[in-house]
Amino acid sequence: MTGGHWGHRERKPDVSYDSQADPVTILAECAESAGVSPHITPFSQTGTLRERLAANPFLMAPMAGVSDAAYRMMARAGGAALAYTEMVSVAGLHYGSEKTWELVVPTPPEPDIAVQLFGSKPDQFREAARAVASRLGERLALVDVNMACPVPKVTRKGEGSALLDDPQGAADIVRACLDGLSDAGSDVPVTVKIRAGRRTGEDEVAPRFAQAMEEAGASAVAVHGRTASQLYRGEADWGCVARVAEAVEIPVIGSGDVRGPEEAARMLQETGCAAVMIARGTYGNPWCFADARTLVEGGEAKTHDLAERLAAFACHVRLLDATHAHLARSRSLAGWYFRGLPHAAALRDRAMRCQTVEEYLALADSLMEIAREGA
């Protein structure tokens, strides 16, 4: 197979594209070839949160600019117990921003969703929790408070990981969320996501901070084993996850350097955490959740061949279009799903030139045909 084949060959897709298809129909049509389920299992509403997490301990993390409705659907169809929204500004909800609300409301076939809020004002958190619970009803699985984001434009407002320096203010936010949910007649859990600490070289604050969140009423705490100052550099300290798990009675959700199902299964087994939150390990790999569960249960993770990867990419692009997301996100998807293929750079270049759903589907279809010819 030559570089020219991968870089320049163009052809039309073999199947017609129904631009009016809804996400439920798309999943039903694509699931078998994409190696995912056509049906999404709801997050259990019975039992303690620890028991509910034990039933399936692998969660899709909130990721800014990534975890839109299409991404969440692929993750859930790929076996994630629950998927989180992108970070949702409580200030945006306070001022009635429709763009902010678009991040919150799940799209069928999502049966439920975890909504992650960020901000710094307890009164806005109370208002946001009440509004979200009222609007989503039984489709709200939990409310999570972001106390981990290290981005300066967030932290300089006292939001995200800046709250690690203010455990009292963070506790007030947890209590405000609980009050807001109570106002709406909802008893869904309030959880928090934190980091090991603010700055590398300082004392690790995560265990003590987690205890304060537990005392404030948080039902679980997710821990990313890096400090905020590390951003996403260096290695995540899974020992921090274990130390937090030892410090609190509530479930701990581990996060950081979970690059695939093997790391997800290993984190669960090595740290004593109750669940694992997978972020970058989901890139081009919606199957990682089911594969991790298979590994934990003593089986072997499935190998996902080229045909399945291309089918999953096509399904994901169709879901993007059906949920009215910006198709430019398909360029990132192409880089992730095509990773490791021969002439990957040429494939990414072709994806960067695609403008329509039909062009992305034609790209996937042509790659499959070339692969068949070279087999």
pLDDT tens-digit map of 145-160: 999 999 999 999 999 9
Rounded CA separation 318/340 (Å): 23
d(CA 88, CA 341): 35
Output DSSP code: residue 67. Answer: -
Question: Is the bond preceding 189 in cis, omega lying within 30 degrees of 0?
Answer: no
Q: Which of 42-46, 85-89, 127-131 is predicted with the least confidence, judged by mean pLDDT?
A: 42-46
User: What percentage of the chain has pLDDT greater than the value 90?
Assistant: 83
User: Which tens digit of pLDDT belongs to each residue from 249-308?
Assistant: 999 999 999 999 999 999 999 999 999 999 999 999 999 999 999 999 999 988 999 899
* Token pair for 259: 């690059």
| pLDDT reading at 350 higher than 90 | no
* Confidence band, pLDDT 50/70/90 cuts, at residue 16: low
- Residue 14 pLDDT exceeds 80: no
Cβ contacts of 265 within 8 Å, gap of 6 or more: 292, 295, 296
pLDDT band, very low/low/confident/very high, at 344 (cuts 50, 70, 90) = confident
Nearest CA among 53, 49, 58, 100 for reference residue 78: 58
Kindly indicate the confidence band of residue 247, based on its pLDDT and cuts at 50, 70 and 90: very high
372, 313, 311: which is closest to 33 by C-alpha?
311
Gyration radius of the chain's alpha carbons: 21
- For the segment 98-127, the average pLDDT, to the nearest whole number, is 97
**Region of residue 147 (phi > 0: left; psi between -120 and 50: alpha; otherwise: beta):** alpha
Residues pairing with 221 in the sheet: 192, 252
Q: What is the pLDDT of residues 63-93, one digit of tens each?
A: 999 999 999 999 999 999 999 999 999 999 9
CATH C-level class of 49-296:
alpha beta
Rounded to whole angstroms, the Cα distance separating 291 from 230 reads 29
**Which of the residues 149, 177, 273, 354 is marked catalytic?**
149
pLDDT reported for residue 8: 42
User: Helix, strand, or coil here: 351?
Assistant: helix
Whole-number Å distance between alpha carbons of 287 and 181: 33
Q: For residues 140 and 326, give the distance between their C-alpha atoms in angstroms, rounded to a whole number.
A: 25
Instruction: Give me 261's structure tokens.
Output: 């199902």
Give residue 9's pLDDT.
43
Report the length, in residues, of the chain: 375
Half-sphere exposure (Cβ direction) of 362: Cα atoms closer than 13 Å: 14
- Sketch the domain layout of the chain as residue ranges: 3-35+304-374, 49-296
Is the whole-model pTM more than 0.85?
A: yes
Residue type, 289: F
Cα(first)–Cα(last) distance of the chain, in Å?
Answer: 10
Residue 32 CB-half CA count within 13 A: 3
DSSP string computed for 105-164: S--TT---EEEEEE-S-HHHHHHHHHHHHHHHGGGEEEEEEEE----HHHHTTT-GGGGG
Question: Residue 275 in contact with residue 254, Cβ under 8 Å?
Answer: yes
Give yes or no for residue 12 having a pLDDT over 50: no
Long-range contacts, 99-107 (Cβ 8 Å, 24+) = 101/135, 104/132, 104/135, 104/136, 105/135, 105/136, 106/69, 106/72, 106/136, 106/139, 107/23, 107/69, 107/73, 107/323
Beta bridge partners of 113: 140
The residue behind tokens 């909130």 is 62
pLDDT (mean) for 195-222: 95
State the pLDDT at residue 7. Answer: 43
Cα–Cα distance between 52 and 221 in angstroms, integer? 15
70 secondary structure, DSSP code: H
pLDDT tier at 2, thresholds 50, 70, 90: very low
The question of whether 30 is a catalytic residue gets the answer no
